[in-house]
């Protein structure tokens, strides 16, 4: 709709707001609205450590706004901000989950850069992987988890590291001995997940750590009695020797014997899949300093949210987003989906799918939506919608009315209004 596309004046003002805020004491950017106010104290805001789907959703919106600051030209910068062609912004409540969501907005479907889309896609992909494993196991099969890492150090260029790693992997799959081990294991196919962490907070900062987790669908037509520990160790050593050889051949150096390649049995595979795509949900709030696994890309966003002066995290996230753009996060080997009867759906289809069993609460006018964007209150509107009523949402919209035209709504006032409305629920 031309009216929506033409009126971007509120968005254009954001860089100015950022500059003003950075000069102010405290350092938190006003362009992130009220997020920084309460993200700092998740325990206080949410009352307990219990997992709350709505609290997780609020955090994802906050992190998405950070991603928008860092990647202003990306589709993620428009995601769930710009209206979809000829659509109204509507708010829905999923009664069963106690959550609320929007419709009528553009979505970016980026698994790498967008915390909101990534979570939605991961939920669906995790269910697909679990369904595939269940089907395979019901047919008497096994699933092994193969983890492949490469040597890396601080200063490595991520794009180059990924290219070399992919080259090594190609040689690995094509290797005669790898094929022989997979045949021994009765492997019918695999699902590969690509992940990356950064070790800047560890004592020995060794930079980007891209790695693969591969689920091997094993045990087809082979004697399950042979899947004991010594046998697995034998396969592991044989696979490691090839992995070490191909890594060295492509110029990556020799991966460590301890961590370069690991072959784990089914229980580890199940644990891995159960947590896949949830790592950013499990560490609500602050970043664990110096944690062994390194920081995930969304940890970097969290770091910028907590401290706008963390220029290193900002630069690393930009480098990461650029390097991973267009890459596949999960790769199923040819024919595996069909064998295990898993339906094909693109990332875009997944994010556009409406949640089932949701009821329509109400609709925002284009001007109201511009006000919400201006004060970065997308998540607040959803919180109030999820926990209170549409009437409460309207009170909030009334409070911020005119924000996109320059009416000042200080973050403190927003924060208090949010607290007040949320504590007023049920009245
Ligand atoms: Zn998105």
- Ligand 1 centre from 113 Cα, in Å? 8
**At CA 101, angle to CA 409 and CA 363, rounded to 5?**
65
Residue 39 pLDDT > 60: no
Distances (CA, A) of 99 to 38, 56, 207: 19, 10, 38
Distance 85 CA to ligand 1 centre (A): 16
In angstroms, the CA 104 to CA 87 distance is 5
Q: What is the whole-number distance in angstroms between the Cα of residue 76 and the centre of ligand 1?
A: 5
Residue 201 confidence (pLDDT): 86
Q: Check whether 291 has a pLDDT greater than 80.
A: no
Q: How far is the CA of 379 from the centre of ligand 1 (A)?
A: 14
pLDDT band, very low/low/confident/very high, at 25 (cuts 50, 70, 90): very low
Range of lowest pLDDT (30-39, 107-116, 191-200, 320-329): 30-39
The mean pLDDT value of the chain amounts to: 84
C-alpha distances in angstroms, 65 versus 69, 79, 377, 387, 407?
Answer: 6, 10, 11, 22, 21
Cα 67 to averaged position of ligand 1 atoms, centre (Å): 10
If one counts every other C-beta atom within 10 angstroms of the C-beta of residue 401, the result is 14
Rounded-to-integer distance, Cα 34 and Cα 156, Å: 37
Give distance in angstroms: CA of 121 to centre of ligand 1: 10
Residue 414 pLDDT grade (very low, low, confident, very high; cuts 50, 70, 90): very high
Which residue has better confidence, 35 or 318?
318
Centre of ligand 1 from the C-alpha of residue 104, in Å: 13
Q: In a 10 Å sphere around its CB, with 0-12 CB exposed, 13-18 middle and 19+ buried, how is residue 313 labelled?
A: buried
CB-count burial class (<10 Å; 0-12, 13-18, 19+) for 202 = middle
pLDDT of residue 330: 93
pLDDT for 425 equals 62
Which residue would you say has higher pLDDT here, 279 or 415? 415
Rounded to the nearest whole angstrom, what is the distance from the C-alpha of residue 172 to the centroid of ligand 1? 34
- Nearest by Cα to 369 from 106, 110, 116: 106
Closest to 256 (Cα-Cα) out of 355, 175, 352, 152: 152
Percent of the chain beyond pLDDT 70? Answer: 84
Q: What is the CATH number of domain 125-279+327-343?
A: 3.30.70
151 Cα: distance to centroid of ligand 1 (angstroms): 32
Residue 143: CA atoms inside 13 Å, Cβ hemisphere, count?
26
Q: Ligand 1 centroid to 208 CA: how many Å?
A: 24
For 119-173, the pLDDT digits (tens) are: 999 989 999 999 999 999 999 999 999 999 998 888 889 999 999 999 999 999 9
CA distance 250 to 24: 50
Mean pLDDT, residues 324-334 taken together: 94
Contact criterion met (CB below 8 Å) for 216 and 144: yes
Band (51; pLDDT cuts 50, 70, 90): low
Supply the pLDDT for residue 357: 79
Nearest Cα residue to 125 out of 343, 309, 299, 297 = 343
- 216 SS3 class: strand
- Cα gap 74→37, rounded to integer Å: 26
Structure tokens at 316: 């690393």
Domain boundaries, the chain: 20-109+352-423, 125-279+327-343
Q: How far is the centre of ligand 1, averaged over its atoms, from the C-alpha of 262 (Å)?
A: 33
Q: Select the more confidently predicted residue: 109 or 425.
A: 109
Residue with tokens 């009352």: 47
Q: Kindly state the average pLDDT of the residues 186-203.
A: 92
**d(C-alpha 316, C-alpha 340), whole Å:** 38
> 116 CA to middle of ligand 1, Å?
5
Question: What is each CA distance from 101 to 89, 369, 419, in whole angstroms?
Answer: 10, 14, 20
Provide the strand spans (E) within 16-96.
89-94
Determine the distance separating the centroid of ligand 1 and the alpha carbon of 282, expressed in angstroms.
20
């Amino acid at each position: 709709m031309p009216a929506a596309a033409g009126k971007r004046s509120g968005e254009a003002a954001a860089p100015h707001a950022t500059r003003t805020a950075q000069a102010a004491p405290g350092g938190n950017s006003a362009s992130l609205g009220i997020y920084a106010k309460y993200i700092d104290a998740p325990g206080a805001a949410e009352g307990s450590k219990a997992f709350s789907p709505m609290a997780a959703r609020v955090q994802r919106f906050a992190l998405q706004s950070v991603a928008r600051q860092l990647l202003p030209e990306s589709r993620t910068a428009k995601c769930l901000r710009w209206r979809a062609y000829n659509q109204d912004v509507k708010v829905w409540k999923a009664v069963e989950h106690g959550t609320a969501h929007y419709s009528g907005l553009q979505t970016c479907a980026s698994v790498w850069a967008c915390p909101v889309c990534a979570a939605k896609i991961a939920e669906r992909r995790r269910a697909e992987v679990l369904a595939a494993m269940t089907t395979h196991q019901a047919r008497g099969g096994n699933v092994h988890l193969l983890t492949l890492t490469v040597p890396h150090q601080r200063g490595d260029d991520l794009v180059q590291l990924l290219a070399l790693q992919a080259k090594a992997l190609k040689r690995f799959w094509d290797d005669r001995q790898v094929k022989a081990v997979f045949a021994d294991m009765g492997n019918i196919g695999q699902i590969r997940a690509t992940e990356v962490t950064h070790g800047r907070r560890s004592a020995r900062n060794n930079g980007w750590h891209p790695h693969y987790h591969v689920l091997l669908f094993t045990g087809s037509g082979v004697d399950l009695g042979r899947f004991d520990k010594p046998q697995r160790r034998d396969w592991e050593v044989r696979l490691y020797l090839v992995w070490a050889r191909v890594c060295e051949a492509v110029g990556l150096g020799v991966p460590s014997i301890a961590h370069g390649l690991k072959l784990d049995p089914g229980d580890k595979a199940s644990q891995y899949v159960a947590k896949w795509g949830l790592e950013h949900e499990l560490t609500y709030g602050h970043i664990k300093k110096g944690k062994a696994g390194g920081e995930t890309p969304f940890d970097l966003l969290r770091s910028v949210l907590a401290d706008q002066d963390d220029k290193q995290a900002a630069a690393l996230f930009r480098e990461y987003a650029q390097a991973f753009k267009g890459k596949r996060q999960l790769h199923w080997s040819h024919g595996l989906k069909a064998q295990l009867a898993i339906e094909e759906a693109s990332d875009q289809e997944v994010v556009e799918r409406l949640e089932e069993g949701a009821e329509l609460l109400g609709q925002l006018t284009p001007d109201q939506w511009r006000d919400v964007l201006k004060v970065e209150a997308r998540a607040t509107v959803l919180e109030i919608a999820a926990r209170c009523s549409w009437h409460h949402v309207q009170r909030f919209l009334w409070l911020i009315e005119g924000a996109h035209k320059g009416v000042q709504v200080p973050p403190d006032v927003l924060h208090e209004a949010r607290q007040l409305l949320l504590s007023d629920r049920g009245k």
